[in-house]
Chain A
Amino acid sequence: MSDKSGISLVAEQLTKTVSSGDEPLTILKGVRLQIKQGESVAITGASGSGKSTLLGILAGLDLPTSGTIRLLERELTTLDEDQRAAVRAEGVGFVFQNFQLLPGLTALENVMLPLEIRVRSDVRPEIEALRLLTAVGLENRVHHYPAQLSGGEQQRVALARAFAGQPQILFADEPTGNLDRTTGTQVEDLLFQLNEQSATTLVLVTHDERLAQRCQRRLQMTDGVLSEPEVQ
């Protein structure tokens, strides 16, 4: 599904301005970015630098004020919300800082949800979800509700859910932000391991330098401007 040239995501001159009180506030200032298929990219920056806003726009969850984004060969800025949703359904996965598991659903049901929404005749949601939960080491916790799981376990469920349906590209927003160092490392290991196995493009936003260093590329967000430091 990626570009023939092997490009997953291209963003050109992205700006995002929101009205904050009387003054308009520019969060993104002419962001340009190109990510290849299978690449792992970390976007780092201080709190409030605009990195989460950028992630939301790159994933098609929000639109920029100006600029263009080409995600999985589709120009997102020309699409309406429902068309962008269709793009997400075809090949985008997410991992969130606060896990975003539905409290009323068991671990298994949470992982099944995107599979049930995307409906593919060759995939049986329950079997696929079980496989993924086993892959993240939660085969004994499939019928537990989120409240009955530890933070690390919850994020592992979220990882399993993110990889359900074999997305082309995975967006992760501070995936270990809510976890302690040891658990965070375990989740990171899992994330990169699954990423490698499925050759998924990974775009993650973090302020954790250590996590960022595990990615192939690191981008720095400073006050709405994205820059790529020289690789050392």
Chain B
Amino acid sequence: MRGRAAEVSTLLLALRLLRREVRSGELTLIFLSLVLAVTVSAGIALFSQRLDLAMEANANDMLGADLRIRSSDPLSDEWLDTAREQGLNTARTLTLQSMVIADCEMALAAFKAVDDGYPLRGELRVRGVGDSQASLQDTGPQPGEVWVEGRVLSLLRLEFNQDTQLELGGKPYRVTGIIEKESDRGGNFYTLSPRVMLHWSELEGSPMLGPGSRLAYRLLVSGDESDITAFRDSVELDVNQEFESLRDGNRAMSESVDRARRYLGLAAVLAVVLASVAVAVSARRYSERHFDVSALMRTFGLSRKAVLVVFLWQLLCIGLLATLFGGLAALFLQESLIYMLSGLVPDGLPPAGPFAWLVGLSAGVISLFGFGVPHLLPLSAVSPLRVLRRDITPVPVTGWLLYGVALVAMTTLLWLLTRDALMSAAIILGGALILVLLMALLRGLLSLAGRALQNRTLPLSLRFAWQHLSRDRTATAGQLLAFALTLMVMIVTGMLRTDLLEDWQQSLPDDAPNIFALNIQPFDRTAFLDGLDEQGLDSVPLYPMVPMRLTAVNGTTVSELDIAGDRSIDRDLISSEAGELPENNTVTAGNWETTHKGPGQVSVEAELAERLGFELGDVLTFRAAGVNFDAQISSLRSLDWTSMTPNFYMMLSPDLLEALPKSYMTSFHLPGGQDAALNQLVRNFPGITFIDTRYLIAQVNTLLQRLILAVELILVFVLIGAVLVMLSVLLTSTRERLAEGAILRTLGASRVQVRRAHQVEFILLGGLAALLALVGGELLVAGLYVGVLEIPYSSLGWIWAWLIPVTIIGLMVPGSMMLRRVTSEPPLRILRQF
């Protein structure tokens, strides 16, 4: 009983003291740092889990089936019969990109023809004419009718009413419904065209299905799990066919969201790391400032354990309070992220589960125990004799314990935030390496500075400032390291942001081609070129194109090779004839003439060749239009993918393509205001697929802007973390600087002299830290770009010019404010407080 009473009274004492500590502001920085850590980690954990839940929980809804087969050829009736015989429900869909027209307006749309079995799984909600709300559908549109996404109507400037009509493939259709939800739509970052849904029978024999169209036939199957498995086992797929999982269906979206998520996760990790460093620095300061309190409490009769427990309770309460605030802020953060990334992430994400909350909220406590608590341990070891002799300080905790516990906490946090053990290990190891490197650099810099500043002819303020910094080298090194690391984190996240965005957002010249024309049949070639001429449009040459799949390399089928999983293997590679070397193509190996002359030669895009390990002389086997043929690699080309002209992975010598059915493609620039010209072409050539990339580019740009916003939001948190570290480090030394400044003044130094001595100290600190950060940052960026991200190395450039002055000002402004008292208050008043 006595034990419990003692515990209760310790808790009560801790709470009472805590109230006073909070009021005195001693714990503010720890609290803010913890709030930051919890906000960022919980925000990202919630966001990620909601995304995962949306992907996984509705996997079948989003797939639209329990099993889905995709094929670039028409689906075999045999499969349909087998599935039905096995008691499974089936549906067929066919998707392609084509233009849709209404009067003078046109738009690129994602067509989807569905048979009577559609939809199988998930929801299709459509609003009819005059309906105020969309209703759940159990079939697709009827022949002669189309359902469209609202965007189609706005692009074509149409109202939705009884008479709304649009034209596709040269035939008029009545619009009878607006699609509000299509759960198997599979939001796609790169194919942003709005949906036009029509009946399966409408596309049979349509000129839109030319041999070069990128068609995707899908067989959707649903039923009992055992029947599905039996069906799956009974089906044999051809090379151009595959079972689709949700991931495949949404690959483009997952990739872009994954990339954004990885970047957000990394930036979040950095924010949490900075917050944790701030916690460590603040906790250390808190601990040192409480040696007297601890000694007094011991003098008043509190045991060692009780003293520690009192402080631990206080910190735990702060941690819990910070977790509460951070949790609330995280709610806003993840909602903001979802709002900013709308269009990239599915709508109506399910709420996150308790696990994500637990993971996210635990960051505060982990950071507190990993980075804060070890610094409190000396508080229990303060001798009560300190009340008589202030010089008695407890034995500090060994570095191994401090760093060891912090390392464990950091690894746990990293793993929780990235869920990637390899990445966590890489960051920890990389971080440790950088730390060692920075320490070595720091030692060099300090000894250089020491030598330079020994000169007695230098101004007093400079010598005084340097003496102050060099007196306690460990503390100075700690401060410099904290500043430099913080600056480095900022530099690297900033550089990554800029370079990743540049990688995503390529700028194009104004007259770059913006319309692609695909699927131009040989018999249409002349007429189409004449048509372009009539409209005054210039095109790049017409390239023949043949979709083909790579089936074997040097006689071994690709499924038996390491490259079997590569994304270029299970899909059609649009290939062309090696006629004239296209503009923007550069031969990097081999000889173009050899490829051009043939026979049996192929030129491969250089990056693809490198990825798949192809070399000159390798023999590739392709399958196109049901025929297998071999080609030997005789040249490699590098391409400019951003040129907006037709680009091909494979270009084969003319003899190989001679016998194959082929269509042609080209691209041209449509100047603004000449939509009518395109309109005319679309009407005249209903079989040709026009891809208007203007809308696409605009859409991609909109989404990129959102992505930038989301990334910048997280960067704001990194910045807050950096400010917290800076402030906590500055505060650590403020007390000492105040006392010294006051002593200087009592010795007769003027306010200006004292102020200048402090300013010089901040200039030295800021300059050295920034220099350290620049050297370290340059190395880190080089390592990251070349080693990890595989993007060309770019130097920190202008950062070299501005980082040093900005850091100095960044330190001097808050530092001078903290030290204002030295010059604004009588020195005696300041000294009496020490």
User: Which residues of A are interface residues toward B (Cβ below 8 A)?
Assistant: 52, 55-56, 61-62, 81-82, 85-90, 92, 94, 96, 98, 100, 102-105, 109, 113-114, 116-119, 147, 151, 173
Q: Which residues of A contact B387 (CB under 8 A)?
A: 61, 94, 96, 100
Partner of A119, one of B9, B24, B389, B829: B9
Q: Which residues of B contact A61 (CB under 8 A)?
A: 299, 383-385, 387-388
The reply to whether A85 and B20 contact each other, CB–CB distance below 8 Å, is no
Nearest residue, chain B, Cβ from A90 = B301
* Supplied contacts A96-B388, A117-B301, 20 more A-B pairs, CB within 8 Å: A56-B388, A81-B303, A81-B384, A85-B298, A85-B301, A86-B301, A88-B300, A88-B384, A89-B301, A90-B301, A96-B387, A100-B296, A102-B292, A102-B296, A104-B24, A113-B297, A116-B12, A116-B13, A118-B300, A173-B388
Shortest B6–chain A CB gap in Å is: 8
A14 to B303, CA, bound (A): 25
Instruction: Assess whether B116 is interfacial by the CB under 8 Å rule.
Output: no
Instruction: Assess whether B302 is interfacial by the CB under 8 Å rule.
Output: yes
A118 to B300, CA, bound (A): 8
A-B contact pairs, 13 of them (CB 8 A): A61-B388, A62-B385, A85-B301, A85-B303, A88-B300, A90-B301, A92-B301, A100-B387, A104-B23, A105-B20, A109-B20, A113-B297, A117-B297
Q: Which residues of A contact B261 (CB under 8 A)?
A: none
A154 to B26, CA, bound (A): 22
The secondary structure that dominates the A interface is helix
A105 to B305, CA, bound (A): 23
Given contacts A62-B383, A62-B385, A104-B20, contact A113 B300 (CB under 8 A): yes
A118 to B10, CA, bound (A): 10
Nearest residue, chain B, Cβ from A91 = B301
Shortest B407–chain A CB gap in Å is: 32
Q: Which residues of A contact B293 (CB under 8 A)?
A: 102
Instruction: Assess whether B507 is interfacial by the CB under 8 Å rule.
Output: no
A82 to B399, CA, bound (A): 27
The reply to whether A82 and B305 contact each other, CB–CB distance below 8 Å, is yes
A164 to B23, CA, bound (A): 24
B:552-586 near A, CB below 8 Å: none
Instruction: Assess whether B185 is interfacial by the CB under 8 Å rule.
Output: no
- The interface bits of chain B over 786-827 (1 if a CB of A lies within 8 angstroms of the residue's CB, else 0) are 000000000000000000000000000000000000000000
Given contacts A52-B388, A100-B292, A102-B293, contact A116 B16 (CB under 8 A): yes
Nearest residue, chain A, Cβ from B16 = A116
Instruction: Assess whether B285 is interfacial by the CB under 8 Å rule.
Output: no
Q: Which residues of B contact A119 (CB under 8 A)?
A: 9
A31 to B21, CA, bound (A): 42
Partner of B299, one of A94, A98, A103: A94
Q: Which residues of B contact A96 (CB under 8 A)?
A: 387-388
3 cross-chain pairs, A with B, having the tightest CB-CB distances, nearest first:
A89-B301, A104-B24, A82-B303
Q: Which residues of A contact B23 (CB under 8 A)?
A: 104
Q: Which residues of B contact A117 (CB under 8 A)?
A: 13, 297, 300-302
Shortest A29–chain B CB gap in Å is: 20
A96 to B299, CA, bound (A): 12
A103 to B384, CA, bound (A): 18
Given contacts A62-B383, A102-B293, contact A114 B388 (CB under 8 A): no
Q: Which residues of A contact B21 (CB under 8 A)?
A: 104
- The interface bits of chain B over 1-45 (1 if a CB of A lies within 8 angstroms of the residue's CB, else 0) are 000000001001100100011011010000000000000000000
A201 to B690, CA, bound (A): 103
A139 to B302, CA, bound (A): 28
Instruction: Assess whether B304 is interfacial by the CB under 8 Å rule.
Output: yes
Instruction: Assess whether B833 is interfacial by the CB under 8 Å rule.
Output: yes
A96 to B292, CA, bound (A): 13
The interface size bin for chain B is 20 to 34
Q: Which residues of B contact A102 (CB under 8 A)?
A: 292-293, 296
Q: Which residues of B contact A82 (CB under 8 A)?
A: 303-305
A196 to B252, CA, bound (A): 88
A76 to B427, CA, bound (A): 53
Instruction: Assess whether B832 is interfacial by the CB under 8 Å rule.
Output: yes
A100 to B298, CA, bound (A): 13
A113 to B293, CA, bound (A): 10
Partner of A86, one of B9, B303, B305, B829: B303
Partner of B833, one of A81, A88, A113, A147: A147
Q: Which residues of A contact B832 (CB under 8 A)?
A: 147, 151
A85 to B12, CA, bound (A): 19
The reply to whether B388 and A55 contact each other, CB–CB distance below 8 Å, is yes
Q: Which residues of B contact A105 (CB under 8 A)?
A: 20
A92 to B387, CA, bound (A): 14
A87 to B300, CA, bound (A): 9
Given contacts A105-B20, A116-B16, A117-B13, contact A56 B300 (CB under 8 A): no
The reply to whether B304 and A81 contact each other, CB–CB distance below 8 Å, is yes
Q: Which residues of A contact B305 (CB under 8 A)?
A: 82
Shortest A85–chain B CB gap in Å is: 5
Nearest residue, chain A, Cβ from B310 = A117
Q: Which residues of B contact A116 (CB under 8 A)?
A: 12-13, 16
Nearest residue, chain B, Cβ from A105 = B20
Nearest residue, chain A, Cβ from B305 = A82
The reply to whether A118 and B301 contact each other, CB–CB distance below 8 Å, is yes
Q: Which residues of A contact B299 (CB under 8 A)?
A: 61, 88, 94
A61 to B384, CA, bound (A): 5
Shortest A17–chain B CB gap in Å is: 16
Shortest B366–chain A CB gap in Å is: 28
- The interface bits of chain B over 268-305 (1 if a CB of A lies within 8 angstroms of the residue's CB, else 0) are 00000000000000000000000011001111111111
Q: Which residues of A contact B304 (CB under 8 A)?
A: 81-82, 85
A61 to B23, CA, bound (A): 31
Nearest residue, chain A, Cβ from B6 = A119
The reply to whether A104 and B300 contact each other, CB–CB distance below 8 Å, is no
Q: Which residues of B contact A98 (CB under 8 A)?
A: 390
A100 to B292, CA, bound (A): 8
Q: Which residues of B contact A56 (CB under 8 A)?
A: 385, 388-389
Nearest residue, chain B, Cβ from A174 = B388
Shortest B770–chain A CB gap in Å is: 35
A90 to B302, CA, bound (A): 11
A134 to B13, CA, bound (A): 24
The reply to whether A104 and B26 contact each other, CB–CB distance below 8 Å, is yes
The reply to whether B302 and A89 contact each other, CB–CB distance below 8 Å, is yes
- The interface bits of chain B over 54-68 (1 if a CB of A lies within 8 angstroms of the residue's CB, else 0) are 000000000000000
A49 to B26, CA, bound (A): 39
Q: Which residues of B contact A92 (CB under 8 A)?
A: 301
A88 to B295, CA, bound (A): 13
B:384-411 near A, CB below 8 Å: 384-385, 387-390
Shortest B20–chain A CB gap in Å is: 6
Shortest B411–chain A CB gap in Å is: 35
Shortest A158–chain B CB gap in Å is: 11
Nearest residue, chain A, Cβ from B5 = A119
Q: Which residues of B contact A90 (CB under 8 A)?
A: 301
Nearest residue, chain A, Cβ from B390 = A98
Nearest residue, chain A, Cβ from B296 = A100
Nearest residue, chain B, Cβ from A92 = B301
Shortest B734–chain A CB gap in Å is: 14
Shortest B312–chain A CB gap in Å is: 16
Q: Which residues of A contact B829 (CB under 8 A)?
A: 147
A203 to B21, CA, bound (A): 33
Shortest A63–chain B CB gap in Å is: 10
A55 to B829, CA, bound (A): 30
The reply to whether B296 and A113 contact each other, CB–CB distance below 8 Å, is yes
Q: Which residues of B contact A114 (CB under 8 A)?
A: 300-301
Nearest residue, chain A, Cβ from B832 = A147
A142 to B387, CA, bound (A): 23
A98 to B20, CA, bound (A): 22
Shortest A111–chain B CB gap in Å is: 12
Shortest B783–chain A CB gap in Å is: 46
B:620-639 near A, CB below 8 Å: none
The reply to whether A85 and B302 contact each other, CB–CB distance below 8 Å, is yes
Shortest A38–chain B CB gap in Å is: 22
Q: Which residues of A contact B302 (CB under 8 A)?
A: 85, 89, 117
Q: Which residues of A contact B389 (CB under 8 A)?
A: 52, 56
